[in-house]
Structure 1
Amino acid sequence: MNLDRAYLDHNATSPVRPEVSAAVAAALALPGNPSSVHAEGRAARAALEEARVRLGRLVGAAPDRIVFTSGGTEAANAALSGALLRRGLSAPTRLLAGATEHPCVSAGHRFPADATEILPVLSSGLLDLAALEGRLDALRDEVVLISVHAANNETGVIQPLAAIVALARAHGRALVHSDAVQAVGKIPLDFTGLGLDALTLSGHKFSAPKGVGALVLSADARLDAAFVRGGGQEARLRCGTENLAGIVGMGRAAEIAHRALDAEACRLAALRDAIERGVLARAPNAVIFGCGAPRLPNTLSFAVPGLDAPTALIALDLAGIAVSSGSACSSGKVARSVVLAAMGVNPALSAGALRVSLGWNSRASDVARALDAFERVVATLYGKQGKAA
């Protein structure tokens, strides 16, 4: 890790913890295939299942309801393939997805265009529950799949999953999937307690290696078809030899996150709030996105009128500060945020949106350094505006 830089882009990917790296190295040294019956295979299987238990503790799910995948995108695609069923119901015929969903949902499902509806959000970024209730009432005779993320990757806004599930259950013929990629390891999640039908996650968002994730299914939910066909691995749903090292690493990261969840949330929220105060002190006209809603403790999204995001990103990067303008899933491009557009943010303002996202290696010194660099960026902006005037 480059100690001369401040890495404040954990929502894109959180650097692997040293303890996780050690667990990955130990797993790489295991010679057996988890599907083999000999001693080496059994040792590999034991490591795999221990990781499943650890992840289950973190998200509040029974281990046997967890299917390991290559990441959150594969898991979400599988959940939204049309094959997700709940006991007593036929397959969903319509998808209702939040307007601020990640592309793994908005572009990753397999429902026909005429069977897909986008649910609006309020200016705060929270799902419009009245709109959801209205659509469920209108679709009383249909089996519906609702997909709403637990927390937004750009703004950090936390969605009211309990209320969403309650509306689905009142409808009687609705299933609920949540993309919890940004929430897992940052805020408490109780999959079973919430009553979700499916949840998807990705390890590299909570300091596990890239390339490993999971699909979690409730006791009443199942997929009626494998999403990777071949052998019998992962309950015959995701066939092929498991990524043992990545899974073990994710299990270790889950254990660490679970142990320190509340304390780390408090620590990161204090750092986030310090950045927010510092931004407003240096640019009183800055707009904080999602400030009227519950947010992830590690995430701050804001814009300063007149400040161009690409220009600010380059300036901050040259100063040794790594932040982003939003989602890291757009091939490195800086484009207008679909999330902010759904929240009704003016296009000119959203063009300057910046996201700071903190994690396990974020420190007060990083905050101070970032604010110093931001102050220089703002001073340059105001200087140009003054000359222009």
Structure 2
Amino acid sequence: MSQPVGKVSGGAKQTFTPPFSGDWALHIGAGLSSDEVAPNPPQALQSTARTMYSITLSWSAPAAAADGDVAASYIITRDGTAITTVTATTWTDQGLEESSSHTYAIHALDDAGNKSSSAAQLTVSTTGDTQAPQVTQVITVSGTELRVTFDEKVEAASAQTPGNYVITPAVAVTAALLSAEGTQATLTTAAHNPGQSYTIKVTGIKDRARVANTMAAQTLNYKFEATLQISELSPATYRLAQLAAGSAYYADRDFKLTTIPAVCQGFTWIMTENDDKERSDAHWLSFKANMAVTVMIAYDNGASTRPTWLDGWSDTGAEIGTSDDSPLHLYRRDFPAGEVVLGGNEGTSKTSMYLVLVKKADGTVADTTPPAVPKGLDFAG
């Protein structure tokens, strides 16, 4: 048998006992309520470090809320947009622009996910670039090319203005090109003189700061020390090489160098082909050099005769040892910058093809090329 139960009011526990014993008892308890108390906001928000591209923030944890809860984490908002949640009380915002201003708001969260009704707020800016660019290095790439290196990325328009570079003694700057990374300018110039010291004045170059900084005149010294460049080698199957004892010295044979005299030090080798040993062309091997050069011919010491074009070459008295059992005797001659032309080997089936060694000449070399012969006349020199 049941008895109607009246309305239960309030949240207290109620017990109803029927008027007869031994039947049943009804217990109704109010449900446990959820945590809806918000934490207090963080305190003492400040910027502890700034760079051109970052801002570091720190703050103090808030006091416990009315229900005893403390902050478990913090929501960080930059310029009205929530960007991260952290548990620590310090954080660094990176990847910002230089001289940029930002407003930060930090809310506290408790372990139930309640967010503080207010936030700690701070407006702070990254630092600005106030340093003008500086030149850190000037190097000569070639007699008509310089490379200028800056200590930061620079503006293309000013860096590519030839008039911002002045070379003394006078060498005209005809073009300037800034590298993709923005820190090097390659200058195209009139010809430099090998061994000459120069001064370059760089001015008017701007950096890439929001408010550009313009460098004052900066003067640097440099010296042009030309490096040997050999080009247009013919025949095309011949090769330039740096050889040592044990190296193959022909492009078409496996004969090896066994001994190399000291006189060969510093030379670049031209590997010829032994199949060309019987060539008798007046113009057989040629190349161009960007400066005066010393050329040595390593000629088969076992040959009974030498080609007439070797007349006038200096005999070094030195020989290169080979695995072919026939040493190569060294003859030497200097040539001015420009084209060097050598004749054929004029050998036999039993002799070997010559080798060529080239290096920068030690001093100024006179041009000994005969003048052009007027039409209709013979020239005997």
Which category of TM-score, normalised to the shorter sequence, fits these structures?
Answer: under 0.3
Q: Which structure has the greater CA radius of gyration?
A: 2
Q: Hey, which of these two has a bigger chunk of helix by percent?
A: 1
The TM-score with structure 2 as length reference comes to: 0.19
Q: Hey, which of these two has a bigger chunk of strand by percent?
A: 2
> Which structure has the higher relative contact order (CA within 8 Å, separation 6+)?
1
